[in-house]
Amino acid sequence: MAESKYQMNRIMVQGHNIFRKYGKVQALSDISFEVMEGEIFGVIGPDGAGKTTLFRILTTLLLADQGQAMVNGFDVVEDYTSIRKKIGYMPGKFSLYQDLTVQENLDFFATVFNTTIEENYHLIRDIYVQLEPFKSRRAGALSGGMKQKLALCCALIHKPEILFLDEPTTGVDPVSRREFWEMLGKLKAQGITIIVSTPYMDEAEKCDRIALIQGGSFIQIDTPENIKDGYANPLYAVSSESMYALLKDLRSCERVKSCYPFGDAHHVTFFDDSFTSEDLEKFLQSKGHNDNNISKIRPTIEDCFMNLSSPGDAS
Amino acid sequence: MKQFFAFIKKEFYHIFRDTWTMVILLILPMVMLILFGYALSTEVKNAGFAVYDPSKDSATEQITHRLDVSEYFYLYDVLTSPEQVEEVLKGGRVSFVIVFSEDFYNNMVHTGEAAIHLIMDGTDPNTAVTINNYVSNIILGYQQELLDRATLPYKINILQKFLYNPEMKSSYNFVPGVMGMIIMLVCAMMTSISIAREKETGTMEILLVSPMKPLVIILSKVVPYFFLSCINLITILLMAVFLFKVPVAGNLFALLIVSLLYIFVSLAIGLLISSVANSQIVALLISGMALMMPVMYLSGMMFPIENMPIFLQGMAQLLPAKWYITAVKNIMIKGLGFAAILKELGVLSLMALALITLSLKKFKTRLE
Amino acid sequence: MTVIQADKLTKRFGKFTAVDHISFEVKKGEIFGFLGANGAGKTTAMRMLCGLSKASSGLGRVAGFDIQKESEKIKKVIGYMSQKFSLYEDLTVRENIRLYAGIYGIPEKEISPKTDLLLENLGFSSEKNTLVKALPLGWKQKLSFSVAIFHDPVIVFLDEPTGGVDPSTRRQFWELIYDASQRGITVFVTTHYMDEAEYCDRVSIMVDGRIDAMDSPTNLKKQFQSPSMDGVFQQLARKAKRQAD
């Protein structure tokens, strides 16, 4: 992500030891973090990890059992009305009126937030231009990508200082997802702080800093680059003609610590550095794999996530 | 104010764009009224009867004839022996059998007393009661005529008259009941469902996060349904007067005032339900089961409250519908005015106040 | 052996052509990735193949049966699973399996041993009496898939089976798919994860109701000179005229 022209020195959002239970389930435990002004902060993790609960606490919709949270200098419990004027929120479930047209939805939310479309048109122009041909269509009849764009417009209409986007790209195809992230980049350039959650690990790269969340806890908070740098073992991409057989054979090798399929190659780590890629090549040939391709690679966020999340706890 | 109007406009879009909402709001009340009016009515039309008449004199033939030509009954069979009575009733083609005593006319003229046995099919007690009343009325009418013409004063015994509902028309009874039910249904169910829908689709999250005041959200949800309920009220009244010939005998203005108050109470109940229900289905179940059933059975609409066990009578006092239905009966049927419904107005006002305070308190500024 | 055959399959809704003369064949045991942007017509096409929706024109055969005339027979020999349609939340794992076994008419005496085997393979034996709603999403999806192939269907249709699932469970899920394919079950799958497209034997990409590209991932990447399937997809899907439907 390009450097923002805004200095990242003011804390916009912070959480201190937040705990929250839902019935017997500990939805969040001991969450602490800070988000700086003008930053895109990603909360990355699978469904059920606690992302939505965290977003609801930060948007003043839910009370934490323990811990404090501040948004734009206001306490989420005591000053919730001040916070509500300053933030834009896009809940996880698609949240517009399906039986209202694009135009009617926008007008409605503009009025609810005491503004007009004209007043903040510059903020939504880039997105709205794409929606304009469908402005008299009912929101329910839009495609997934278009719905997300409309929801973003509605969340932006009152020129919020902080934008909370809860899984804006879930279920959206890769092209629309990419476009959506391009839009977020533009909003960041206008100085808006963005907190966004996603289950898609590849989107982590587009954030300034990310928090990896699993089972209600942050397992790491850092920039994507630092997280990747922190990957302990050398990582190899291995491919051959018969990928499924290759996977099984790699798993059977006792020097292999982990092996996961990653698209066109399997990502493999070894228990210690004494085992090299040449050794692996020999092993695979002994199993009848010729035409192998082994190369050392830089890990992706997904590699890091799997490495950090405790095995067996995969939920 | 702008927020408020924008919100109301949006609510009307929701209502007008969903066919089913429109059907429930506008067609259902009419259908219910017609159903209760015709299908569930205890009114009797064209019921068959049989006669066992051992005297066959002018009086018994006159009575039989009068029953036969009335719009309620027709003579299905003339029996020749008392044994046939049960048989013909079992056949199900007749609703009652008239059995005259022997020497009917003679007895009546000379002793001033003659006996008629009315044997009813009691499977449906409500209908049986109605038939009993009709038949008695017709016979009493005949007796009255005889007395008028008679030179000798016969012993006059029963003089029966039905107050307020001389023909025992059941529409008199069900119209106020259906009004009480429909208004409760439309207001409580539709408001609670429309709020629950916003919770389900997540739009409530956005509204809560917006600077809009909770009071404005609540009012904007209430206004459209208040308006539609008024339309319903007018349709029901028009249908009652022109289709079922139930007159508005009393003060129309008083009727409208108490109805508006009742609509308000129902809306407040809807709001209260929506503060508990997080999904449309729950809202529907609560308003359907927890509200409709008591309103139907305890409000006096179907069964008289006086006949209920004390416990249920107590429960009935808590139902706004009970008070409303009583007030409507007083005005529409008894033809009374404001003075007669002061108590009802008072109770409903108190309920409105309590409910709206409670639902405002319970309306959450957060999700839970 | 060909198990799915589509010949100029078309579906129109009024003036709108959702699926526009698509033709393809899928072989037995193949993992066939069915990709496309939101609204490109994937779901409509899949519904026609499953016998849930009638084609406006064109021919289709699934497991040897005509999709227009023999949809009831088709339903018996296919499995279906989607991200939304999962299992009955208020039944236990075991009860769910039993229910589906019953629906597909699996003989009573085979159900029990087969259920035990399934639970063991998934490592769920300890959870067999747990209510499904208490399971983590990834487990549900794995269980849901296992249930969809419990009656050994000829083909299993998977509609975005891994949405929102965590990375390691997503991979375990694909191993289940590989396993099914090795047993001869044909897998027809849609996904928005482009790395998953790489796991497929062949991939088709739908744009505006048509199939614009169809080949193995390796060949597609060569053809579009892109290092990843994501690149291939972006090139094709950006051409789409149809934005919303």
For C77-117, how does the pLDDT look when each residue is reduced to its tens digit (9 = 90+)? 999 988 765 688 889 999 999 988 888 888 888 999 999 99
Task: Specify the pLDDT at position C3.
Answer: 94
* Confidence at B39, pLDDT banded by 50, 70, 90: low
Task: Specify the pLDDT at position B182.
Answer: 83
Per-residue pLDDT at B146 exceeds 80: no
Q: Does A130 touch chain C (CB under 8 A)?
A: yes
Most A-contacting residue of C42, C143, C226, C243 (CB-CB within 10 A), to test interface: C243
The mean pLDDT of chain A is: 89
Q: Do chains B and C touch (3 or more CB pairs under 8 A)?
A: no
pLDDT greater at residue B265 or residue B70: B265
Q: Does C124 touch chain A (CB under 8 A)?
A: no
CATH class of B47-149: alpha beta
Task: Specify the pLDDT at position B142.
Answer: 80
- Percentage of the residues of chain B whose pLDDT score is greater than 90: 12
φ/ψ region of A10 (left if φ > 0, alpha if ψ in -120 to 50, else beta) reads beta
The nearest CA of chain C is from the CA of A55 a distance in Å of 17
Task: Specify the pLDDT at position B171.
Answer: 59
Q: Which chain A residues touch C238 with a CB distance below 8 Å? A: 175
Per-residue pLDDT at A55 exceeds 90: yes
| Out of A49, A175, A214, closest to residue C37 by CB | A175
Task: Specify the pLDDT at position B62.
Answer: 84
* Confidence at B99, pLDDT banded by 50, 70, 90: confident
Task: Specify the pLDDT at position A71.
Answer: 95
The nearest CA of chain A is from the CA of C24 a distance in Å of 23
Task: Specify the pLDDT at position C242.
Answer: 66
The nearest CA of chain C is from the CA of A67 a distance in Å of 26
Specify the range with the lowest mean pLDDT, choosing from A31-45, A244-258, B222-236, B304-318: B304-318
| Out of B203, B210, B366, closest to residue A63 by CB | B366
Task: Specify the pLDDT at position A304.
Answer: 93
Residue C49 CA to residue C70 CA, distance in Å, equals 11
pLDDT greater at residue B312 or residue B153: B312
The mean pLDDT of chain C is: 89
Task: Specify the pLDDT at position B124.
Answer: 66
Residue A152 CA to residue A163 CA, distance in Å, equals 9
Q: Does A76 touch chain C (CB under 8 A)?
A: no
| Out of A60, A95, A113, closest to residue B202 by CB | A95
- Percentage of the residues of chain C whose pLDDT score is greater than 90: 54
Q: Domain residues of chain B, as ranges?
A: 2-40+170-362, 47-149
Per-residue pLDDT at B285 exceeds 80: yes
For C119-137, how does the pLDDT look when each residue is reduced to its tens digit (9 = 90+)? 998 888 888 899 988 888 8
Mean pLDDT calculated for residue range A155-176? 89
Per-residue pLDDT at A241 exceeds 90: no
Of the candidates A53, A163, A67, A197, which has an alpha carbon nearest to the alpha carbon of residue B368?
Answer: A53
Q: Does C123 touch chain A (CB under 8 A)?
A: no
Query: Which chains have at least 3 CB atom pairs separated by less than 8 Å from chain B?
Result: A
For B40-62, how does the pLDDT look when each residue is reduced to its tens digit (9 = 90+)? 566 677 788 889 888 888 888 88
Where do the domains of chain C lie, and which CATH numbers do they carry? Answer: 2-8+16-35+54-237 (3.40.50.300)
Specify the range with the lowest mean pLDDT, choosing from A301-315, B318-332, C159-173: A301-315
For C177-232, how does the pLDDT look when each residue is reduced to its tens digit (9 = 90+)? 999 999 999 999 998 888 899 999 999 999 999 999 999 999 999 999 998 899 99
CA–chain centroid gap for B5, Å, is 37
Per-residue pLDDT at A56 exceeds 90: yes
A56 and B367 within 8 Å at the Cβ level: the answer is: yes
Residue B59 CA to residue A93 CA, distance in Å, equals 81
Task: Specify the pLDDT at position A41.
Answer: 97
Task: Specify the pLDDT at position B3.
Answer: 84
| Out of A47, A144, A214, closest to residue C137 by CB | A47
A99 and B203 within 8 Å at the Cβ level: the answer is: no
pLDDT greater at residue B176 or residue A66: A66
Nearest CA in chain A to C161: A171
Chain B residues whose C-beta is within 8 A of a chain A C-beta are 2-3, 6-7, 10, 13-14, 17-18, 201-203, 205-212, 365-368
* Confidence at B162, pLDDT banded by 50, 70, 90: very low
Per-residue pLDDT at A6 exceeds 80: no
What kind and span of H or E run contains C196?
Answer: helix C194-198
The nearest CA of chain C is from the CA of A121 a distance in Å of 22
Task: Specify the pLDDT at position A1.
Answer: 45
| Out of C136, C178, C217, closest to residue A48 by CB | C136
Structural Rg of chain A based on CA atoms: 22
Q: Which chain C residues touch A248 with a CB distance below 8 Å? A: none
Structure tokens at B344: 């009802």
Per-residue pLDDT at A227 exceeds 90: yes
Residues 6+ apart with CB under 8 A from B345: B257, B258, B261, B327, B338
Where do the domains of chain A lie, and which CATH numbers do they carry? Answer: 11-223 (3.40.50.300), 235-298 (3.30.70)
How many residues belong to chain B? Answer: 368
For B184-212, how does the pLDDT look when each residue is reduced to its tens digit (9 = 90+)? 888 888 889 999 988 888 888 888 888 88
What kind and span of H or E run contains C156?
Answer: strand C155-159
Q: Which chain A residues touch C182 with a CB distance below 8 Å? A: 244
pLDDT greater at residue A11 or residue A143: A11
Mean pLDDT calculated for residue range C20-43? 91
3-state DSSP of chain A: CCCCCCCCCCEEEEEEEEEEEECCEEEEEEEEEEEECCCEEEEECCCCCCHHHHHHHHCCCCCCCEEEEEECCEECCCCHHHHHHHEEEECCCCCCCCCCEHHHHHHHHHHHCCCCCCCCHHHHHHHHHHHHHHCCCEHHHCCHHHHHHHHHHHHHCCCCCEEEECCCCCCCCHHHHHHHHHHHHHHHHCCCEEEEEECCHHHHHHCCEEEEEECCEEEEEECHHHHHHCCCCCEEEEECCCHHHHHHHHHHCCCEEEEEEECCEEEEEECCCCCCHHHHHHHHHHCCCCCCEEEEECCCHHHHHHHHCCCCCCC
**Contact yes or no for B316/B308 (Cβ under 8 A):** yes
Per-residue pLDDT at A115 exceeds 50: yes
* Confidence at C244, pLDDT banded by 50, 70, 90: very low
Most A-contacting residue of C35, C38, C133 (CB-CB within 10 A), to test interface: C38
* Confidence at A8, pLDDT banded by 50, 70, 90: low
Nearest CA in chain C to A310: C168
